[in-house]
């Protein structure tokens, strides 16, 4: 259940009161700048048991821009026979519900206190687009512009820290051809996906070389590792220096199409400790006589199974959007004995009628976004 009007929630949910002694304390901290809200506004928590969607738990201001509340998890919910408990919640500023997906925290029996920090926002419906001009790459000795999508929570709440960062290649095509901001704004606004910060480096006249890891005699190529070094050593630190974001392996994702899909899947396999999730759309797995299937797939290891891969293609147009090679690569992932399971950490999608262009990539972009950044609801959420 999503957090909607209080009167509707009263009709939809009745939570029994729980008086058992707490076994675990959750400290929930909400950070928000005073200047963005009316003076003296109060903050409250509502949520699933042991909270309630109908009654507010007051939060106490404990520092500048910081409010806190301790939520006791009773032994009736968390005990030896039920050793974990997932709680969903939202923040209210007086009577205003925060926007976006419910927050969720999972606690374990005898784990002690768990701290969850959230950055609520209440009135911003759309993210913001920013372009960084002439970003220099010492690895490639060239410059390019970089398109950024700043999620709604960060637009309104400058203290927001982005926990999910998505690098998308061919940044000059992301808006308007892919309509990336429109897709994300709509899904966040419908409470279907979490906040994500997008970093979209433009391609350059050397695109073929930068998006390929080996030389294909008719086309050249082979600067893929220098390009990935540029992203990791120069671009992400540059953006993180201007915007608050986490950039560890559990935070950083990558996505691209065509050769951009190829370099994305290559980055995931060869740098598994750097990226959490990979979106490989209509990937050019044909490159260098199918070199990816022959030499890169064998590099999969047990670390790879901790990642998530989205691979897709269409089945129409020139070469049927490389459907045959995509099928072969997907099958190789799933039969690699490295822990990949279809629908869990590997998603393989065929778009009927899909062709190799931005129009079709935009039409199915919601699939990887929801798979990577959406989530099922639990516990009468």
Can you state the angle between helices 180-189 and 366-373, rounded to 10 degrees? Answer: 50
SS3 category, 147: strand
SS3 category, 17: coil
pLDDT at 38: 77
Q: 328 and 285 in contact (C-beta within 8 Å)?
A: yes
What is the residue whose two structure tokens read 């005898």? 110
- Edge-to-edge strand list for the sheet holding 142-150: 128-137, 142-150, 197-201, 165-168, 252-257, 277-281, 308-314, 346-351
85: enclosing H helix or E strand = strand 84-93
pLDDT tens column, 33-54: 766 777 788 999 999 999 999 9
Q: For residue 10, is pLDDT > 90?
A: no
pLDDT tens column, 199-223: 999 999 999 999 999 999 999 999 9
User: Given pLDDT bands bounded at 50, 70 and 90, which one contains residue 303?
Assistant: confident
Report the distance separating Cα 28 and Cα 12, nearest Å. 25
User: Given pLDDT bands bounded at 50, 70 and 90, which one contains residue 114?
Assistant: confident
pLDDT at 26: 63
CATH superfamily of 6-118: Immunoglobulins (2.60.40.10)
Q: For residue 2, is pLDDT > 60?
A: no
Q: Which of 7-21, 90-104, 142-156 shows the lowest per-residue confidence on average (mean pLDDT)? A: 7-21
| Greater model confidence, 365 or 23 | 365
Q: For residue 3, is pLDDT > 50?
A: no
Q: For residue 23, is pLDDT > 50?
A: no
pLDDT at 168: 98
Report the distance separating Cα 317 and Cα 85, nearest Å. 49
User: pTM above the 0.85 mark?
Assistant: yes
Mean pLDDT over residues 57-79, rounded? 89
pLDDT tens column, 141-190: 999 999 999 999 999 998 899 999 999 999 999 999 999 999 999 999 99
Mean pLDDT over residues 228-245, rounded? 98
Q: For residue 22, is pLDDT > 70?
A: no
pLDDT tens column, 310-327: 999 999 998 999 999 999
Q: What is the mean pLDDT of the chain?
A: 90
The CATH T-level fold of domain 128-373 is Rossmann fold (3.40.50)
Q: Give the best-scoring range by mean pLDDT among 68-77, 92-101, 182-191.
A: 182-191
Report the distance separating Cα 351 and Cα 353, nearest Å. 6
**What is the 3-class SS of 335-359, one letter each residue?**
CCCCCCCECCCEEEEEECCCCCCHH
User: Given pLDDT bands bounded at 50, 70 and 90, which one contains residue 16?
Assistant: very low
Q: Which of 60-69, 237-246, 299-308 shows the lowest per-residue confidence on average (mean pLDDT)? A: 60-69
What is the residue whose two structure tokens read 């260098």? 288
128-373 and 6-118 share a CATH fold: no
Q: For residue 30, is pLDDT > 80?
A: no
pLDDT at 345: 96
pLDDT at 158: 86
Domain boundaries, the chain: 6-118, 128-373
């Amino acid at each position: 259940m999503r957090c909607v009007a209080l009167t509707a929630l009263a009709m939809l949910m009745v939570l029994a009161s729980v008086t058992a002694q707490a076994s675990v304390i959750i400290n929930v901290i909400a950070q928000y700048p005073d200047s963005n809200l009316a003076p003296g506004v109060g903050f409250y928590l509502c949520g699933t048991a042991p909270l309630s969607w109908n009654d507010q738990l007051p939060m106490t201001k404990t520092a500048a821009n910081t409010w806190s509340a301790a939520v006791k998890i009773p032994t009736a919910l968390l005990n030896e026979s039920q050793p974990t408990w997932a709680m969903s919640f939202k923040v209210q500023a007086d009577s205003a519900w925060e926007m976006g997906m419910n927050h969720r925290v999972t606690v374990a029996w005898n784990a002690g206190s768990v701290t969850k920090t959230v950055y609520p926002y209440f009135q911003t419906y759309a993210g913001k687009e920013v372009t960084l001009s002439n970003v220099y790459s010492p690895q490639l000795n060239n410059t390019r512009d970089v398109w950024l999508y700043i999620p709604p929570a960060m637009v309104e709440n400058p203290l927001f820290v982005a926990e999910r960062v998505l690098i998308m290649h061919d940044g000059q095509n992301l808006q308007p051809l892919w309509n990336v901001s429109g897709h994300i704004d709509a899904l966040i606004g419908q409470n279907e996906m979490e906040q994500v910060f997008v970093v979209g480096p433009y391609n350059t006249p050397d695109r073929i070389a930068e998006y390929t890891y080996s030389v294909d005699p008719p086309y050249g190529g082979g600067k893929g590792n220098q390009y990935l070094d540029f992203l990791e050593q120069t671009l992400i630190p540059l953006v993180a220096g201007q915007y608050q974001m986490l950039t560890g392996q559990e935070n950083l994702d990558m996505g691209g199409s065509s050769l951009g899909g190829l370099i994305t899947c290559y980055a995931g396999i060869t740098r598994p400790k750097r990226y959490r999730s990979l979106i490989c759309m209509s990937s050019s797995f044909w490159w260098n006589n199918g070199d990816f299937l022959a030499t890169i797939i064998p590099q999969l290891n047990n670390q790879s199974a901790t990642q998530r891969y989205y691979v897709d293609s269409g089945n129409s147009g020139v070469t049927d959007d490389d459907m045959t090679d995509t099928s072969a690569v997907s099958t190789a992932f799933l039969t690699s004995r490295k822990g990949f399971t279809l629908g869990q950490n590997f998603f393989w999608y065929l778009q009927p009628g899909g062709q190799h262009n931005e129009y079709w990539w935009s039409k199915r972009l919601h699939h990887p976004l929801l798979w990577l950044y959406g989530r099922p609801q639990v516990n009468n959420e």
